[in-house]
Structures are given as structure tokens and as C-alpha cells.
Amino acid sequence: MIRIAVIGGDGTGPEVVAEGLKALSAAAEKVGLDYQVKEFDINGNRYLKMGGSPDEPTIPVITDEEIEELKTFDAIYLGAVGHPDIAPGILEKGLLLRLRFELDQYVNLRPVTLYPGVPCPLAGKSPEDIDFVVVRENTEGIYTGMGGVQYKGTPQEVSTQINCTTRFGAERVIRYAFETCKKRNKKKRITLVHKTNVLTYVGQTWFNTFQQVAKEYPDIETDYNHVDACCMWFVKNPEYYDVIVTDNMFGDIITDLGAIIQGGLGVAAGGNINPKGVSMFEPIGGSAPKYTGKNVINPIAAIAAMAMLLREIGENKGDEKLKEAGNRIEEGIKATTPKMKSQSAGKMGFSTTQVGDLVADAIRSAN
């Protein structure tokens, strides 16, 4: 029996999560998997209803009790975070970043995979060319909130945002990336992405740690790219990459570029992973307020996040049934994408729920 906590969140989050749960139900039936789902009403609307200010974080977006309860689940399945009436940062910091930090989900695993039949904006590239994973550090860098502002609102305003980098934090995520590369067993190549020519202090911590860990993996080829050059190579030679490991913000930025070369945010999924704790899986696109409630948003990314959830926790627990359920969902996606006209909201040739049904039917009718 596995227990999954579901946070639909804001905007189109609940709509896409519903389709992921449909796929879960179909796969569970197929492999005889026992599971339980509990939905949590944690989102921008609730924050406003409880009297939270839209301009400043006046009340918690998620309560301490909810965090404690979430820690008792096998995994968390998240839809989207972001509300048009709430100032940027309140929900992001109060919900998404808080969960990543408090549950110590120090790896943000973001596969960049071009599914069959999905148009790639890069000329001449096919699914064999676009198949790599980005391992993004998820608890440090400039995301921690260290820093501050002084003389606010005056011409003398001064603000700092500190890049908090620790050897411990870099080492654990780099080690995870090497293990991922070994398990993938593909090109056996790992690329560190940073900006060591300018960020000389934190860059050295990353670079030296990377070199040190690399010694333990003599059959894995290592390389280093500056983040700006990496953006160029993503477009020119995506087939070069196998596993990338990088800092929190660089990882945030390059994975949006990664998402577009795999067909868009409608397709890209990610996992916030604590290998010894509770991990959280999500489509990496936002809450898409303008498409909310219209049944037009692409649920593929959320369904792919469910596949990842099952495979990752299956791997962690050594549970073959979970892994198989995840693989079956992945196959269901691959059977569905060639039937879709586009991966963009409103242009798929199907509604959100129809795409979910296609995936669920493909899972049910597979051998």
C-alpha cells in the first residue's frame, strides 16, 4: 500500500492532477497496486479566504500541522503554484520553496525527453537526440532567502541576495547526479554547469567538489560548461548531453529551455527528491490562469510527473510493482502523444480530460 498526498494547488493545477490520478488508477488496476490518495486544499484561494494579504505574506500558506502530516506520506503530487491576485513570491516561497526546504528535497530531477510525435522546435532533431536529465540543486544557492534590503523606497535603496553554497550541499547533489548517470547507463557522461569564470568563490566549491566525487566514478566521463555556453549547446547539440548537474538558479533557467526543446511546458515533469525522505513530483509549467477551468490545458506533464513518482519511489523502496506502474504510464504517454495535434494548450485536438482518457485507455489496453 502506498499513500500519496495530492496538492492540486492553483489555476490549472487541479485539472492536470486529476488526469494524472486517472493514469494512476488505470496502471494500478493493471499491475495490482494498492494505493491511497489524500487531497489537501492548499492554494492561493484558500490563503485569500483565510484573510491572507495579497501584497505581503501575513499568514502561512501551508500550516505547520499540514507539513507534519505531509511528512507521513510516501510521496506528494503537486499541480501548480501561482495566483494572479497574489504578489509574486508569497505562494512560491510560502508553499513550493517551503516544502522543498523543510522536506529537504535537495535534488530537483528534470528529465528532458522528446516523446514520439511531438514536434521539436530544433530543426532535424528526433527523440534519440533529446534524451538527457538535469539534476538541479534544490535547497541552496540564491533561493534560500538570505540577504535583505536597506533604505527601502529611497534613492539609497540597497539590496543583497546571497548565494548560499555549501560543500555539503554541492557534494550530496553531485553524488546523486553521478549515481543517476551510472543507473541510466547511456552515454556515461556528466556535465557540471556553472559560471566559474565570474562566480569564483561558489564556483570553486562546485568545481572542486565535482572533481573530487568524479574520482569515485572512473568510467563516467566528466565535462564542464559555463551556463551561458550550455544554453547555446542545448539548441545546437542537445544529443551531447546525458546528465547535467547544476546550481539551483542555473537549473531553474536551463530547464525551461530544456522544456521547450522537448515540446513545451505542457510536457515537462520534474521531481523534488529527498532520497531518504518524502519527495514531491510536479509538472514544471505554471498555474496558467488564462486557461483555468476551460478544459484545454495539456495534462501530459502532470501524467509524466505521476509516472516519475511511481518509478522513483519504486526504486527507493525496491518495489517492482511501483516501477512497473510508472513504466506503464510512461508507455501510455508514448502511445498518446503521436495522436495529439500539438502539445500547446487549446491546440491539442483534444480537451484536457480527453488526453487523460487516451492515456488511461492506452494503459488499460496494453499487454
Residues binding ligand IPM (CB under 6 A): 81, 92, 96-97, 252, 284
Grid cell in block for residue 308: 516519475
Report in angstroms how near the CB of residue 102 gets to ligand IPM at its nearest.
Answer: 15
- Compute φ and ψ for 175, nearest 5 degrees: -60, -45
Nearer to ligand IPM, 13 or 14 (CB): 13
Name the residue with the smallest CB distance to ligand IPM. 92
Closest CA to 141 of 257, 275, 253, 278: 253
Nearer to ligand IPM, 247 or 252 (CB): 252
Nearer to Mn ion, 19 or 252 (CB): 252
Report in angstroms how near the CB of residue 96 gets to ligand IPM at its nearest.
Answer: 5
From 112-120, 160-168, 249-257, 321-329, give the range in contact with Mn ion by CB under 5 A: 249-257
Closest CA to 245 of 135, 359, 103, 124: 135
26 near 363, Cβ under 8 Å?
yes
Distance CA 204, CA 226 (A): 13
* Partner from Mn ion, ligand IPM, none contacting 177, C-beta within 5 to 8 A by type: none
Return the SS3 of 270. strand
Q: How many CA atoms within 13 Å lie on the side-chain side of 299?
A: 34
From 19, 252, 282, 330, residue interacting with Mn ion (rule: CB under 5 A)? 252
Instruction: Tell me if 282 contacts Mn ion by CB under 5 A.
Output: no
From 203-211, 247-255, 331-339, 354-362, give the range in contact with Mn ion by CB under 5 A: 247-255
Nearer to ligand IPM, 101 or 207 (CB): 101
Can you name the residues that pair with 226 across neighbouring β-strands? 194
From 145-153, 186-194, 244-252, 345-353, give the range in contact with Mn ion by CB under 5 A: 244-252
Nearer to ligand IPM, 110 or 328 (CB): 110
131 near 258, Cβ under 8 Å?
no
* Partner from ligand IPM, Mn ion, none contacting 92, C-beta within 5 to 8 A by type: ligand IPM
* Partner from Mn ion, ligand IPM, none contacting 96, C-beta within 5 to 8 A by type: ligand IPM
User: Which parts of 196-335 are beta strand (E)?
Assistant: 221-226, 243-246, 269-273, 279-283
Report in angstroms how near the CB of residue 269 gets to ligand IPM at its nearest.
Answer: 11
Report in angstroms how near the CB of residue 277 gets to ligand IPM at its nearest.
Answer: 19
Q: How many CA atoms within 13 Å lie on the side-chain side of 89?
A: 9
Distance set, CA 292 to CA 10, 81, 283 (Å): 9, 13, 15
Grid cell in block for residue 134: 538535469
Residue 119: Cβ-neighbour burial (10 angstroms; 0-12, 13-18, 19+):
exposed
Closest CA to 263 of 331, 340, 333, 344: 344
Nearer to ligand IPM, 81 or 348 (CB): 81
Nearer to Mn ion, 92 or 361 (CB): 92
Report in angstroms how near the CB of residue 97 gets to ligand IPM at its nearest.
Answer: 6
From 101-109, 130-138, 190-198, 250-258, give the range in contact with Mn ion by CB under 5 A: 250-258
Report in angstroms how near the CB of residue 275 gets to Mn ion at its nearest.
Answer: 22
Identity of the amino acid at 124: G
- Compute φ and ψ for 102, nearest 5 degrees: -70, -30
Fill in the per-residue mask, 128 to 147: x = in contact with Mn ion (CB under 5 A), - = not in contact. --------------------
Grid cell in block for residue 36: 491511497
Can you name the residues that pair with 159 across neighbouring β-strands? 149
Report in angstroms how near the CB of residue 92 gets to ligand IPM at its nearest.
Answer: 4
- Compute φ and ψ for 74, nearest 5 degrees: -80, -30
Nearer to ligand IPM, 30 or 83 (CB): 83
Nearer to ligand IPM, 285 or 356 (CB): 285
- Contact positions toward Mn ion, by CB under 5 A? 252
